[in-house]
Structure 1
Amino acid sequence: MMKIFDKTKCELGEGPLWHPIRQELFWFDILSSKMFHKKTPEQQPIVHEFNRMVSAAGWVNKNVLLIASETNLFLYDLNTRVEKHLIDLEKDNLKTRSNDGRSDPWGGFWIGTMGKNCEPDAGAIYRYFEGKLKLIISKVTISNSICFSIDKKYCYFSDTAKKNIMRIKLDSDNGSPIKNSEIFIDLADEVIAPDGSVVDGSGNIWNAQWGSSRVARYDLYGNFREQVSVQASQTSCPAFGGANLSTLFVTSANEGVEEKFSGCTFYCDTQFTGQQENRVIITQQ
Structure 2
Amino acid sequence: MTAETVFEGRILSTDRMALGEGPGYDPETDLIWWFDITNCRLNFMNASNRDRRIITLPEMASVLAPVDEKRQLIAMETGLYFRDTAHGALTLHVAIEEDRPETRPNDGRVHPSGALWISTMGKEAEEGVGAIYHVLKGEVTKIVEGMTIPNAICFSPDGETGYYVDTPVGKLMRMPLDPETGLPDGDPEVFIDNAEKPGGMDGAVCDGDGHIWNARYGMGVLDHYHSDGRLIARYQLPARQPTCPAFIGKDGGWMMVTTAAQNTRPEEEPNAGFTFALVTGARPRFDPPYLAEEPLPFRR
Cα offset, 1:42, TM superposition: 6.4
CA RMSD of aligned residues (A): 1.3
CA contact (8 A) 1:14 1:27 kept: yes
What 5-or-longer segments of structure 2 have no aligned partner? 1-6, 295-300
1:29 and 2:36 aligned: yes
Cα offset, 1:41, TM superposition: 8.3
Per the normalisation by structure 2, the TM-score is: 0.92
Cα offset, 1:44, TM superposition: 4.7
What 5-or-longer segments of structure 1 have no aligned partner? none
Question: Of residues 271, 274, 281 in structure 2, which corresponds to 1:271?
Answer: 281
* Deviation readout 1:182-226 (Å, 9 max, x if unpaired): 111110111121000001111110000100001000000110011
The 1:35–1:231 alpha-carbon spacing in structure 2 relative to 1, beyond 3 Å, is same
CA contact (8 A) 1:103 1:279 kept: yes
Counterpart CA distance in 2 for 1:276 and 1:172 is 16
1:231 and 2:238 aligned: yes
CA contact (8 A) 1:6 1:41 kept: no
1:157 alignment partner AA = Y
SS at match of 2:173: strand
SS at match of 1:51: coil
CA contact (8 A) 2:215 2:244 kept: yes
Moved more, 85-94 or 172-181: 172-181
- Per the alignment, residue 200 of structure 1 pairs with 207
Counterpart CA distance in 2 for 1:31 and 1:95 is 13
Counterpart CA distance in 2 for 1:73 and 1:244 is 29
Counterpart CA distance in 1 for 2:180 and 2:17 is 39
Counterpart CA distance in 2 for 1:40 and 1:9 is 20
Cα offset, 1:7, TM superposition: 1.1
The 1:78–1:8 alpha-carbon spacing in structure 2 relative to 1, beyond 3 Å, is farther
CA contact (8 A) 2:21 2:258 kept: yes
Question: Of residues 185, 189, 195 in structure 2, which corresponds to 1:182?
Answer: 189
Per the normalisation by structure 1, the TM-score is: 0.96
The 1:126–1:154 alpha-carbon spacing in structure 2 relative to 1, beyond 3 Å, is same
Q: Percent of aligned positions with the same letter in both sequences?
A: 33
Counterpart CA distance in 2 for 1:54 and 1:281 is 20
Cα offset, 1:85, TM superposition: 0.5
- Per the alignment, residue 180 of structure 2 pairs with 173
SS at match of 2:158: coil
Question: Of residues 38, 43, 59 in structure 1, which corresponds to 2:66?
Answer: 59
Counterpart CA distance in 2 for 1:262 and 1:254 is 5
Counterpart CA distance in 1 for 2:80 and 2:115 is 12
Counterpart CA distance in 1 for 2:114 and 2:157 is 15
CA contact (8 A) 1:249 1:268 kept: yes
Cα offset, 1:37, TM superposition: 1.0
CA contact (8 A) 1:57 1:65 kept: yes
- Per the alignment, residue 250 of structure 1 pairs with 257
SS at match of 2:168: helix
Counterpart CA distance in 2 for 1:77 and 1:147 is 26
SS at match of 2:258: strand
- Per the alignment, residue 157 of structure 1 pairs with 164
Counterpart CA distance in 2 for 1:78 and 1:160 is 33
Question: Of residues 143, 147, 155 in structure 2, which corresponds to 1:136?
Answer: 143
* Equivalent pairs, count: 284
1:276 alignment partner AA = F
